[in-house]
């Protein structure tokens, strides 16, 4: 994954108050400051910022004495571009400062948005063509990219699913990146995976059939069977056959499980238990833990 940078001559030691007032984005957040942005001086160095609920990937801002540089990340959305523009305006040393782009594009501060929007659109389209070509040529290709909240994974299957019913795959992919970041806002529970002792390096995530859940980058779904005093760990590839349409992929590794009605749970538990059998003298590769 790459980026496109834009830089400008910046104020020296700008205060947080003046930058926040100029950016005028109440949802501005940074993973570097989970308890809130600093209240004295604006942070120097390289810091990732995003607009909560809106950004797909956010932007990286490098602030040094006299220089501000915004890096637009691959497959970021228009909200990220606007955030980058606002940060550069807020940090500019004066209204006459020039904005310089990675590819040699130059503009005045007042014309920055109009001048660079076309550049960013072309760059994003070119980047996406590279990703598509890589996936089409490598059946097992897995593209991973970090969003403001969590990582996203794309490959051949997820591209095919997102392209169904649309002629515009790129916007669908970018929107899916954004959606995964804030999936809790849709009412989903997001349980955290834990290491599975029986399989070194593997992760298992508890499944609560009463809830609509999103499973993030896990290897197994942990299904409690209290009457057997055990938890059955079912590998993710087996889950669609157990729950049918209540399963939905979000990308190559993350997925949704809708609540399971009480009337269907006994049969589901039986099916899950039936998958744990001896084959050729060996169990399948999923395991139990108490």
Report residue 280's pLDDT band, with 50, 70 and 90 as the boundaries.
very low
76-102 confidence digits (pLDDT tens): 999 999 999 999 999 999 999 999 999
The predicted pLDDT at position 233 comes to 86
Distance CA 109, CA 147 (A): 28
120-160 confidence digits (pLDDT tens): 999 999 999 999 999 999 999 999 999 999 999 999 999 99
63-73 confidence digits (pLDDT tens): 999 999 999 99
168-200 confidence digits (pLDDT tens): 999 999 999 999 999 999 999 999 999 988 788
**108: alpha, beta or left? (left if phi > 0; alpha if psi -120 to 50):** beta
Residue with the larger pLDDT of the pair 119 and 272: 119
Distance CA 8, CA 51 (A): 21
Compute the average pLDDT of residues 191-214. 92
End-to-end CA distance of the chain: 41
Which parts of the chain are beta strand (E)?
3-9, 28-29, 45-51, 59-64, 67-73, 98-101, 106-108, 143-146, 151-154, 194-195, 203-206, 213-215, 220-225, 230-235, 247-249, 255-257, 278-279, 282-283, 288-289
C-beta separation of 287 from 199 below 8 A: yes
- Note the Cα 200 to chain centre separation in Å: 26
Lowest mean pLDDT, pick from 100-109, 229-238, 279-288: 279-288
Distance CA 174, CA 186 (A): 18
CA distances from 41 to 12, 18, 150 (A): 10, 9, 28
Residue 269, pLDDT > 50, answer: yes
Which one of 55-69, 156-170, 259-273 scores highest in mean pLDDT? 55-69
For the chain, give the mean pLDDT.
Answer: 91
List the beta bridge partners of residue 49: 59
H or E element at residue 277:
none
Compute the average pLDDT of residues 263-277. 79
The predicted pLDDT at position 193 comes to 94
List the beta bridge partners of residue 100: 7, 106
């Amino acid at each position: 994954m790459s980026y496109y940078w834009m830089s400008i001559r910046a104020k020296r030691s700008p205060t947080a108050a003046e930058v926040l007032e100029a950016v005028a984005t109440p949802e501005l957040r940074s993973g570097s400051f989970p308890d809130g942005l600093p209240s004295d001086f604006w942070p120097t160095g390289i810091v990732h910022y995003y607009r909560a609920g809106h950004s797909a990937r956010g932007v990286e801002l490098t602030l040094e004495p006299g220089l501000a540089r915004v890096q637009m990340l691959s497959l970021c959305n228009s909200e990220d571009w606007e955030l980058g523009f606002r940060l550069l305006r807020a940090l500019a040393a004066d209204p006459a400062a020039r904005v310089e782009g990675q590819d040699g594009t130059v503009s005045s501060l007042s014309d920055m948005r109009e001048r660079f929007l076309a550049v960013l659109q072309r760059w994003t389209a070119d980047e996406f063509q590279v990703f598509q070509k890589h996936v089409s040529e490598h059946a097992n290709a897995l593209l991973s990219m970090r969003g403001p909240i969590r990582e996203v994974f794309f490959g051949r299957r997820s591209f095919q699913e997102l392209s169904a019913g649309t002629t515009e795959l790129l916007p669908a992919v970018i929107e899916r990146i954004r959606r995964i970041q804030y999936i809790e806002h849709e009412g989903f529970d997001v349980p955290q995976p834990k290491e599975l002792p029986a399989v070194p390096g593997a992760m298992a995530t508890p499944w609560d059939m009463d809830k609509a859940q999103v499973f993030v980058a896990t290897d197994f779904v942990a299904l409690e069977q209290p009457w057997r005093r055990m938890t059955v760990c079912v590998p993710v590839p087996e889950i669609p056959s157990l729950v049918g349409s209540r399963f939905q992929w979000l990308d190559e590794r993350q997925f949704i499980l809708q609540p399971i009605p009480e009337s269907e749970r006994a049969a589901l538990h039986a099916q899950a238990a039936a998958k744990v059998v001896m084959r050729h003298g060996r169990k399948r590769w999923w395991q139990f833990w108490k």
